[in-house]
Structure 1
Amino acid sequence: MHKKRTFRTRCETARAFPIEKALAKLGHFPARSTEKEAWFLSPFRPEDQASFKVSKELNRWYDHGAGRGGNVIDLVCIINGSSVKETLDWLENGQISFSFQQRPLIPEQNASGIRVRYARPIGHFGLIGYLNSRKIPVSTAAKLCQEVHYILRGRNFFAIGLKNDSGGWELRNKYYKNSSSPKDITYIKNGNRRLIVTEGMFDMLSLLERDKNLMEKNDLLILNSLAFVEKIPGVIKRYQSIALYLDNDKAGKSATKLLMEQSPKCRDMSNLYKDFKDVNAWLMSKKL
């Protein structure tokens, strides 16, 4: 009887885990959001318009296209294909120890609507022009990125792509800012004792352009979303110093403050671009 009571208590506690937070850890982010609800592209099936609703007040979800809904335990069980016990373990331990190596649990094209066709070295004139507009030479971009061709809603697109640790891509061109699932960090290990952390790919490329020898002296971590800031504590233990180049907005400053409170090895480097939103905006302001 004691075991059953414990299991029931675990379920009751787990149901309070925010659905939005669970979805973020699985690589799904809202298409639109208000104080009371958030709308996502369905994590179960391909769609062009978000019909998956999360009630923030009730902490319940409903997929209008599939005609089903439930609580956070139901949702994680379905997406992960896991048992209730495995889901409880994931929810209880997921705040910091969410696996870096978790396999993609749903096909890429079903998760984001994006299907990557192929990646190659950057050579398209339009993408080179886009890089130049952001003050990033192709030679610098090529250190981290590729030219990625993909299909979305039956149409072909191409973009500057940064691959993440779970095999998804951050995709940027002049007109679109997309990402394929699964969403994750991009962690580049060069065997150094110093780590540089940025929110996005263009912030890291800007630092690489500023210091041509940056990769020789540092390991690099691109969050790709502040939702993954919780992964950092498990990474920074191995480093002597961690330089934080997060955005100069409320969310970026809050994340910086949190990380500096967690480790004295973290340093806020935002003074470099104190009058700008981020590192790339600072770089773009510089005269050639």
Structure 2
Amino acid sequence: MNCEKIKERVSIRAVLESFNFFPVKENQKTAFYFALDREEKTPSFSVDFVKNKAFDFGTGKSYDVISIVQQMNQCSAFDALKYLEKFDFSIQKNDRIEESDRSKNYSIIKLSEIQHPALIQYLKSRKVYEQKDLVQEIEYILNGKKYFGIGFFNNSEGVEIRNKNSKICLGKKDVTLIENERNKNREIVVFEGFFDYLTYRNIEKIENFNSDYLILNSTAMLFKVDEILKKYDKISLFLDNDANGKTTKEIIQKKYKNVEDCSLLYLGFKDLNEWFCTKK
């Protein structure tokens, strides 16, 4: 089969999944992924499932399935074609697994302490390795393929999974509430993602661990927090300095009393972890 046929008939989604890349945002025809060649906070890699092509808004570079393999494996087009031989050529370029099916089509193989060198290095790069006991190493099968990552469970037993190349949730999306029996002052600290929570725990001394913690896991989960937040006398917000974070902050400030906006600590940075990573 020639190169053009391969570009048309091998699913770009399947190729990206083979490198443990999954959509951050998607609809029926398109999706945004994190970039192939760098770590970023906002996904800039746009994939068109109908055309079976991708475009990196950060670099201005276009991709097909062959050039994706070349980028990831740092190989020639010939070696990329050999890599693509393992894929099902009968897959149509606009095939798509519905999100409801995707959430069911997985199984967790193993949960353990963080041991994989790649995950250890990733935690160190984010300056939260000291908090490795607050997360787990997770091995799982998704759509017939085996993957691994850093796992953080939510209140509905869904699990947020992160590694250098992927950011997904297996199971039901929900918030994570961490309650502390030493919390006598009815205080709660709110974060968007669990890396900011790990960062905060890394900054705070252990004797100061006397609040409850709420990790939204997505600002879209804000509708779930009313019954939680109204129980507290003080709410401290460590939300992102982007449009979603600012909107979420304003909603909470209007609805509840004694809300402290702590984002001034990392003004000029997207979030708490990004700011902390610049410190020596």
TM-score range, shorter chain: 0.5 to 0.7
Structure 1 match to 2:115: 123
C-alpha distance after superposition, 1:159-182 (max 9, x if no partner): 111011111100001111111011
Instruction: State the 4+ residue runs in structure 1 displaced beyond 3 angstroms.
Output: none
Structure 2 match to 1:140: 131
Answer yes or no: is the 8 Å Cα contact 1:30–1:38 preserved in 2. Answer: no
Which amino acid counterpart does residue 116 of structure 1 have in structure 2?
I
TM-score, scaled relative to structure 1 = 0.61
Give 5+ residue unaligned stretches, structure 2.
Answer: 1-22, 32-47, 51-94
Q: Does 1:111 align with 2:103?
A: yes
SS at match of 2:150: strand
Identity of aligned residues (%): 36
Q: Among 26, 32, 45, which residue is 2:26 paired with?
A: 32
Q: Among 279, 282, 285, which residue is 2:275 paired with?
A: 282
Q: Does 1:205 align with 2:198?
A: yes
Superposed, 1:1-288 pairs within 5 Å as 31-33=25-27, 110-111=102-103, 113-137=105-129, 139-142=130-133, 144-191=134-181, 192=183, 193-213=186-206, 216-287=209-280
| Residues 1:244 and 1:65: Cα distance change in structure 2 (over 3 Å) | closer
| Residues 1:211 and 1:30: Cα distance change in structure 2 (over 3 Å) | closer
Deviation, structure 1 residue 110: 4.6
SS at match of 1:252: helix
Which amino acid counterpart does residue 171 of structure 2 have in structure 1?
S
What CA distance in whole angstroms lies between the structure 1 residues aligned with 2:267 and 2:240?
Answer: 10
Deviation, structure 1 residue 208: 0.6
Answer yes or no: is the 8 Å Cα contact 2:102–2:143 preserved in 1. Answer: no
What CA distance in whole angstroms lies between the structure 1 residues aligned with 2:265 and 2:217?
Answer: 21
What CA distance in whole angstroms lies between the structure 2 residues aligned with 1:129 and 1:253?
Answer: 31
| Residues 1:33 and 1:214: Cα distance change in structure 2 (over 3 Å) | farther
| Residues 1:252 and 1:221: Cα distance change in structure 2 (over 3 Å) | same
Answer yes or no: is the 8 Å Cα contact 2:158–2:172 preserved in 1. Answer: yes
Answer yes or no: is the 8 Å Cα contact 1:273–1:279 preserved in 2. Answer: yes
Deviation, structure 1 residue 282: 0.5
What CA distance in whole angstroms lies between the structure 1 residues aligned with 2:218 and 2:197?
Answer: 14
TM-score, scaled relative to structure 2 = 0.63
What CA distance in whole angstroms lies between the structure 1 residues aligned with 2:25 and 2:49?
Answer: 7
What CA distance in whole angstroms lies between the structure 2 residues aligned with 1:172 and 1:179?
Answer: 9
C-alpha distance after superposition, 1:24-80 (max 9, x if no partner): xxxxx984259xx998xxxxxxxxx989xxxxxxxxxxxx989xxxxxxxxxxxxxx
C-alpha distance after superposition, 1:71-112 (max 9, x if no partner): xxxxxxxxxxxxxxxxxxxxxxxxxxxxxxxxxxx8xx7526
